[in-house]
Amino acid sequence: MKNEDHRTRVAAERRERMRARLLAGAMQSVAAKGPGAMSIDDVIAIAGVSRGSFYKYFPSPDLLLRELGVEIANELIRLAEPVVLNRSDPAERIACGIRLVARLAHAHPLAATCLARLGWPDASGPHVLLDYVERDLADGIRQERFRPMPMALALNIVSGAVLGATHSMLVPGCEPDFAEQTAAAALRALGMKASDAERIANKPLSVVEFSSPGLLAETLVVVGTESG
C-alpha cells in the first residue's frame, strides 16, 4: 500500500511539473507574440517536450490560454490575499487588493504582459479566485460602504481596474502612484465619496514577495529534460 501511494504521489507531482512547464512556455510565447500568434510548436520548443506530451495535458491551444490566464490571476490574488485580510474595512480590502495585484504584476513584467494580452479571466469560470473579491464587495454593499449594484457590475469595476492598471503600468513614464489612482477611481465607481476614496487608496501598503512556489515565483526559464 505504501509503495502504491508513493507511486501515485510521484506520478501526480510529475504531471503537475509538466503542466507547469507547458504553462511557463505558453507564458513566454504569449508575452513575446501575443495570444493570437502563440503556437503549439512555440510552446513545446520552449518546454522541451513532444507534441504528444502537449496534447496529454491540453486538448487545444485555446484551453491552454484559458488556463494560463486563470493561473496568473489566481496566483496574483493568492499572493495578495494574506495582506488584504489584515484590513477589516471592505473598502480598504478592495483598494489594497487592486494596488497589490497591479504592483505584483508590474514587478513581474512577463506576467503583466500576459495578463494584459489575455485579459482577466471570466469571473464565472472555474477555479478563478474572484470569490475573494466578491466577498469584500458583498460586505461593502451590506455595510453601505458601496452603493447597491449587481455583483457582476461590481466585479467588472474591480477586475477592469486591475487589468487597466496592469496594462498602463507597463508603459514607460507611467505615474508611480498609478495603482493608487486606479484604486481611488474604482472606489468612486463603487459609490464612495472622492475624499474617502482618495484617503483609503493611499494608505501605507505592505510589500509582497514572490516567496512561495508557483508560476510567477519561478524564473520561467524551462529547465530539465523530463518529458511525458
Under 8 Å between Cβ of 158 and 99: no
Q: What is the mean pLDDT of the chain?
A: 81
- Tell me the per-residue pLDDT of 137-166, one tens digit each, with 9 for 90 and over: 999 999 999 999 999 999 999 988 988 888
> In this predicted structure, what is the pLDDT of residue 26?
87
Please write the tens of the pLDDT for every residue from 16-65: 888 888 988 888 888 777 777 888 998 998 888 889 889 999 998 888 88
Where residue 103 falls among pLDDT bands split at 50, 70, 90? confident
Average pLDDT over residues 122-133: 59
pLDDT at 35: 75
Rounded average pLDDT over 51-80: 84
Average pLDDT for 206-218:
57
Looking up cell 485579459, which residue turns up? Answer: 119
Sign, CA torsion 124/146/116/44:
negative
Residue 221 pLDDT > 90 = no
- Helix, strand, or coil (residue 4): helix
**Percentage of residues in the chain having pLDDT higher than 90:** 29
Query: How much of the chain exceeds pLDDT 70, in percent?
Result: 83
Q: Which amino acid is at 162?
A: V
How far is the CA of 194 from the CAs of 33, 45, 92, 181, in angstroms?
40, 51, 14, 11
Amino acid at 31: A
Q: What is the pLDDT of residues 168-191, one digit of tens each?
A: 888 888 899 999 999 999 999 999
Q: Comparing 2 with 37, which gets the higher pLDDT? A: 37
Q: Which domains are delineated in the chain?
A: 2-201 (1.10.357.10)
**What CA–CA distance (Å, rounded) separates 16 from 56?**
12
For residue 207, the model assigns a pLDDT of: 66
